[in-house]
């Protein structure tokens, strides 16, 4: 049944990647988990983050105008939970994670650390911000990236971590023919 939404409602149907957002600035080198990390343009190549303005990550990005997007791989759930449940305002997460065995390396074009063993590492320059809701949007243009297709992305859904499942095969010839006929029938 359709209901009128209130601020108490929690929509739980979405699933996302986890972006491990790396920054530098007033709170030092940092990493935080960001489920609202989305590619929003190929040309120019843009990524949007939705991050609350009181977070150290948001304030680092506003100060330096750069950030790293590291798309977490299946093996990085503990890293995601660790980076996403404490703030650089209180703890040096980079040192803490390094002691847990997580490896970082220096980005080539911007002064942030990048996360090793992620699916994607993208170095971004902030080009726009939009104060639209409780999570302001930060839009960055990718200036350099590397991808490891052997790694599978970690999935985040309903507050839990998941793995990619089986690929769903394409429909058979019979169904494809039927769809094609309907396509012809309903031409505008």
Ligand X SMILES: Cc1cc2nc3c(=O)[nH]c(=O)nc-3n(C[C@H](O)[C@H](O)[C@H](O)COP(=O)(O)O)c2cc1C
- Using the rule CB under 6 A, which residue among 88, 110, 113, 120 binds ligand X? 88
Should residue 81 be labelled a site residue for ligand X when binding is judged by CB under 6 A?
yes
Interface with ligand X includes 112 (CB under 6 A)? no
DSSP string, the chain: ------TT------EE--EEEEE-STT-SEEEEES-EEEEETTTTEEEEE--TTSHHHHHHHHHSEEEEEEPBGGGHHHHHHHTSS-TTT--HHHHHHHTT--EEE-SSSSSEEETT-SEEEEEEEEEEE--SSS-EEEEEEEEEEE-TTSPBPEEETTEEE---PPPPPP-HHHHHHHHHHHHHT--
Of 62, 84, 136, 139, the one binding ligand X by CB under 6 A: 84
80 interacts with ligand X by CB under 6 A: yes
* Interaction of residue 100 with ligand X, rule CB under 6 A: no
Which residue lies nearer to ligand X by CB, 89 or 103?
Answer: 89
Residue nearest ligand X (C-beta atom) = 84
**Comparison of 85 and 177: residue with beta carbon closer to ligand X:** 85
What is the closest distance, in whole angstroms, from the C-beta atom of residue 187 to ligand X in the complex?
42
- Among the listed residues 35, 74, 117, 148, the single contact to ligand X using CB under 6 A: 35
Backbone angles phi, psi at 41, to 5 degrees: -160, 140
Residue 59 Cβ, how far from ligand X at the closest point, in Å?
8
Question: How many residues in total does the chain contain?
Answer: 188
The reply on whether position 22 binds ligand X by CB under 6 A is no
Q: What is the binding site for ligand X (CB under 6 A)?
A: 18, 30, 32-36, 50-52, 55-57, 80-81, 84-89, 135, 156
């Amino acid at each position: 049944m359709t209901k009128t939404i209130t601020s108490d409602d929690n929509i739980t149907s979405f699933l996302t990647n986890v972006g491990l957002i790396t920054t530098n600035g007033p709170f030092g080198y940092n990493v935080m988990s960001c489920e609202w990390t989305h590619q929003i343009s190929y040309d120019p190549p843009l990524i949007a983050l939705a991050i609350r303005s009181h977070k150290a990550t948001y304030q680092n990005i506003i100060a330096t105008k750069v950030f790293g997007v590291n798309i977490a791989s299946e093996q990085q759930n503990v890293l995601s939970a660790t980076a996403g449940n404490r703030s650089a305002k209180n703890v040096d997460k980079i040192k803490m994670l390094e002691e847990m065995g997580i490896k970082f390396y220096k980005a080539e074009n911007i002064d942030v650390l990048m996360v090793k063993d992620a699916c994607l590492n993208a170095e971004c320059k902030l080009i726009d911000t939009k104060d639209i809701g409780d999570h302001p949007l930060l839009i960055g243009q990718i200036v350099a990236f590397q991808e490891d297709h052997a790694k599978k992305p970690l999935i985040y859904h309903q507050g839990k971590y998941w793995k990619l499942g089986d690929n769903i095969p394409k429909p058979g010839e019979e169904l494809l023919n039927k769809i094609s006929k309907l396509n012809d029938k309903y031409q505008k």
